[in-house]
Chains A and B, each alone.
Chain A
Amino acid sequence: MRPYLLSVPAVLLIIGILYAFFYGVYYTVLNYAATNPTPTFIGVDNYRSVLGDTLFWRSAGTTLLYAVAATGLETVLGVAIALLLNRSTLIGKTFERLLILPLMIAPVIAGVIWKLMFNPQFGVLNHVLGLGSTFDWLSKDRALASTILVDVWIYTPFVAILVLAGIRSLPKEPFEASDVDGANWFYMFRRLMLPMMWPYILVAVIFRFMDCLKVFDAVYVLTAGGPGVTTTTLQIGAFEDSITNLNYSRGSTYMFLLWIIVFITARYLVSVLGKAQRRAAGAGA
């Protein structure tokens, strides 16, 4: 058997993925909707319509804000937790196992749980925090922050576990040498650990940032994009066009534009990761 035949399953898989992708792209130049099941070619009209819609730009801004805030918080908290768990105490090891629990809950289920906890009438949060029955976590002013809080709750453990794995793979010699030279913990963290950990942190950042740009499930369950359009992300906009309004071509256009945003962002972050990896290799040598 010729060796290249081994790649046939992978090629078929790629064709399967590309088929759906290009079919979706093809829809963007049609006017296909449930109310118009015999579509015709309309060129760039869908792009003009979506890009000329203020809701699209507002959703893009909300998505970006969500992604930056959630990724930032998860990274800072994740690194901090990883540093704490790196101490091999019994408590540390117990927390290490407990930490994975939020990751085992589907985001949509987490959304439902948090929606119940946020409820001012019977939710546990207001009761425990003594906020009474008038503090609304999902009001216009707080809804975005609350959805970010849920994201942080679900995914900070992911960052922590990834960074913890990175810390444990670092060489011990530079730290032992610094210790002998009398360097304090903070100096070692800043000058040795952090530069060598950057690639791991960046991998976590890339994963989380990409995921946040595509956020849908937990936000949809919590607020459906409301109040008003306060938490409407690009994915929710695409869902409403495609599924609620059955306007498949407009929804596909929304999704394709989101794909372009994610693709460009991913390319940039991967190039940053490459540079960090090269720098870390130097720092670790």
Chain B
Amino acid sequence: MNEFTRSESGLHVPTKKVTRRSLLAAMGGAATVPMLYGCGVGTGGGGGDAGKAPENGASAVTGSFDWKALKGQSIKILQTPHPYQQAFQPLLKDFTELTGIEVQADLVAEADYFTKLNTELAGKTGAHDVFMTGAYFIWQYGPPGWMEDLTPWIKNSSATNDEYDFEDIYEGLRTSTRWDFEKGSALGTGGQWAIPWGFETNVVAYNKKEFDARGIALPETFDDFIQLATDLTDRSQNRYGVAFRGSKSWATIHPGFMTQFTREGGKDYTAEGTTYTAAMNSDKAVEFTKKWVDLAKNAGPTSWTTYDYPQCTGDLGNGNAMMVYDADSATYPKQKAGASAQAGNLAWYPGPAGPDGSYATNLWTWSLAMNAASKKKQAAWLFMQWATGKDAMNKATASTFADPVRASVFDGSFKQTLGGFPGYLETFEKVIDSTKIQFTPQTKFFETTEDWAVALQDIYSGADAKSRLDELAKANTTKINA
């Protein structure tokens, strides 16, 4: 039996002393076991198969197509609360009725969604079989083998219903979700890593009631747009000209900024073979960036550096912002009766054209992707083809599902809903042919594009535009080619 005594501190400790040296030796020994085990670098829980993508499961599906083939199974999907998700939530029971497959939809707020998704996919647990993603994320999640190539699934008639009609999805959207991950390759090459589900063009929504009351004409050039936004700003009335994103995030660059940047002749990178050179410091880019930042200062939200799209659309809906330069489907819900103070007063137009008349527009597409680590790939694919199919999408457009990705649905049921949305359809039709991803695809997209947003914030805070963009371009050229 060990002897115990009372220490000066009042604690009972054994009299037999454990020396610091022996304790450290024991702890070191204990720690060495996992370290030695870890020498195989079990990256992300994947064990020894690090970096190896799991086998594509499509070839295992044979026989005739049957919606009920996997009756009784269940799948889990990861989503972020969004009008698209909300439109589909009540329809999930239709899928269960059609297939006999239960769906559990887990929701994570958009601010944390990709953090959750990053860590889950890196862990390769396959906890969720299907997840919502954007096209840019394919550039990051594809190379490590976290996403299933869907081309074999689409082509396998045993796995895919004859009526699916993949080609009905707008071509620009299909190509934006394909890439071969090679530097210098354009989008539209390589695997189909996700199926577009809903999408958005970045245009201008404005307070039509105010514009009509004052007899304001819509500005056609960027300089006129700046002038109008400035004229509409009256800080004493808590009213300002135009809301657009400014937070420290890649998401600040892709909507209004990238759209107008491209219309004004800017490019993010120039490619020579497999070498990219950052071009966000070209003369045109510097001139545009100065104007954009001045627009934010003179006619934007006061707290611009914290603004994401919910704040922008919130200010439009409240009547504080007279215009918003952002996704059409983000401003669309504010026009729904009862959804905002300005519901019924809003309208849309494409925004200013470039000096050469360009309506080049950057797009975002929420898509559905299959987790490469999923253990229920066939059931996951049945869900994906149902969710991106004509029937479900037609039903979803009856609520808040804006900009369906299928031409047949857009031209059919969706158009019927647009009577109370002045200019929405005309705007869409004006820009759709020049709407695509305007960024150069590259695997360091999020890092380098967030750095771009940081540079905008620095310029907003007083840094010289030319030298700050030179610094950014130099750093990004190094990063992207590393």
Q: Which range contains the number of B residues in contact with the other chain?
A: 35 or more
User: B421 interface residue, CB < 8 Å from A?
Assistant: no
User: B155 interface residue, CB < 8 Å from A?
Assistant: no
User: B337 interface residue, CB < 8 Å from A?
Assistant: no
User: B447 interface residue, CB < 8 Å from A?
Assistant: yes
* Docked-complex contact B306 and A223, CB < 8 angstroms: yes
Nearest B residue to A224 via CB reads B248
Q: Mark B54-65, 1 if CB is under 8 A from A, else 0.
A: 000000000000
CA separation between A26 and B35, bound complex, in Å? 8
User: Which of A18, A34, A38, A225 has most chain B Cβ within 10 Å?
Assistant: A34
Listed by A's residue number, 20 A-B pairs whose Cβ atoms lie within 8 Å are A14-B27, A15-B34, A22-B34, A34-B143, A38-B51, A121-B238, A121-B302, A121-B303, A122-B318, A122-B320, A132-B235, A132-B236, A138-B303, A138-B305, A224-B249, A226-B248, A226-B305, A227-B457, A228-B454, A229-B454
User: B30 interface residue, CB < 8 Å from A?
Assistant: yes
CA separation between A26 and B37, bound complex, in Å? 12
CA separation between A86 and B18, bound complex, in Å? 43
List residues of B (298-340) whose CB comes within 8 Å of A's CBs. 301-303, 305-306, 311, 315, 318, 320
CA separation between A154 and B298, bound complex, in Å? 34
Instruction: Report B-chain residues with C-beta under 8 Å of the C-beta of A240.
Output: 447, 450
Question: A34: which of B144, B302, B315, B458 is its contact (CB, 8 Å)?
Answer: B144
Question: B458: which of A3, A115, A120, A228 is its contact (CB, 8 Å)?
Answer: A228
In the complex with contacts A227-B461, A229-B454, A244-B447, A23-B302 CB distance below 8 A: no
User: Which of A26, A133, A140, A225 has most chain B Cβ within 10 Å?
Assistant: A133
Instruction: Report B-chain residues with C-beta under 8 Å of the C-beta of A229.
Output: 454
User: B446 interface residue, CB < 8 Å from A?
Assistant: yes
Given contacts A139-B303, A228-B454, 5 further A-B contacts (CB under 8 A): A22-B35, A38-B43, A133-B302, A224-B247, A226-B306
Instruction: Report A-chain residues with C-beta under 8 Å of the C-beta of B457.
Output: 140, 226-228
**Smallest CB-CB A-B distances: 6 pairs:** A37-B51, A226-B248, A140-B461, A120-B302, A227-B305, A228-B458
Nearest A residue to B116 via CB reads A243
User: Which of A120, A134, A223, A228 has most chain B Cβ within 10 Å?
Assistant: A228
User: B115 interface residue, CB < 8 Å from A?
Assistant: yes
User: B462 interface residue, CB < 8 Å from A?
Assistant: yes
Question: B462: which of A22, A35, A121, A140 is its contact (CB, 8 Å)?
Answer: A140
A-B Cβ contacts below 8 A, count: 132
In the complex with contacts A134-B302, A226-B305, A227-B458, A19-B43 CB distance below 8 A: no
CA separation between A140 and B463, bound complex, in Å? 11
B contact residues vs A (CB 8 Å cutoff)? 1-2, 27, 30-31, 34-35, 38, 41, 43-44, 46, 50-51, 115, 118-119, 122, 140-141, 143-145, 235-236, 238, 240, 247-249, 301-303, 305-306, 311, 315, 318, 320, 443-444, 446-447, 450, 454, 457-458, 460-463
* Docked-complex contact B50 and A38, CB < 8 angstroms: yes
* Docked-complex contact A18 and B31, CB < 8 angstroms: yes
User: A66 interface residue, CB < 8 Å from B?
Assistant: no
Nearest A residue to B304 via CB reads A136
CA separation between A264 and B240, bound complex, in Å? 50
Which secondary structure characterizes the binding site on chain B?
Answer: helix
* Docked-complex contact A136 and B31, CB < 8 angstroms: no
CA separation between A119 and B311, bound complex, in Å? 10
* Docked-complex contact A120 and B27, CB < 8 angstroms: no
**A52 to B: closest C-beta gap in Å:** 13
* Docked-complex contact B43 and A37, CB < 8 angstroms: yes
User: A32 interface residue, CB < 8 Å from B?
Assistant: yes
Instruction: Report A-chain residues with C-beta under 8 Å of the C-beta of B30.
Output: 11, 14-15, 18
User: A30 interface residue, CB < 8 Å from B?
Assistant: yes
In the complex with contacts A15-B30, A23-B38, A246-B122, A226-B247 CB distance below 8 A: yes
User: A265 interface residue, CB < 8 Å from B?
Assistant: no
Q: Mark A117-149, 1 if CB is under 8 A from B, else 0.
A: 011111000000000111111111000000000
* Docked-complex contact B303 and A120, CB < 8 angstroms: yes
CA separation between A186 and B31, bound complex, in Å? 54
Question: A119: which of B118, B249, B303, B443 is its contact (CB, 8 Å)?
Answer: B303
CA separation between A138 and B240, bound complex, in Å? 18
CA separation between A151 and B444, bound complex, in Å? 34
Q: Mark A26-58, 1 if CB is under 8 A from B, else 0.
A: 100010101101110000000000000000000
Instruction: Report B-chain residues with C-beta under 8 Å of the C-beta of A228.
Output: 248, 454, 457-458, 461, 463
* Docked-complex contact B248 and A246, CB < 8 angstroms: no
In the complex with contacts A23-B34, A121-B238, A225-B248, A244-B450 CB distance below 8 A: yes
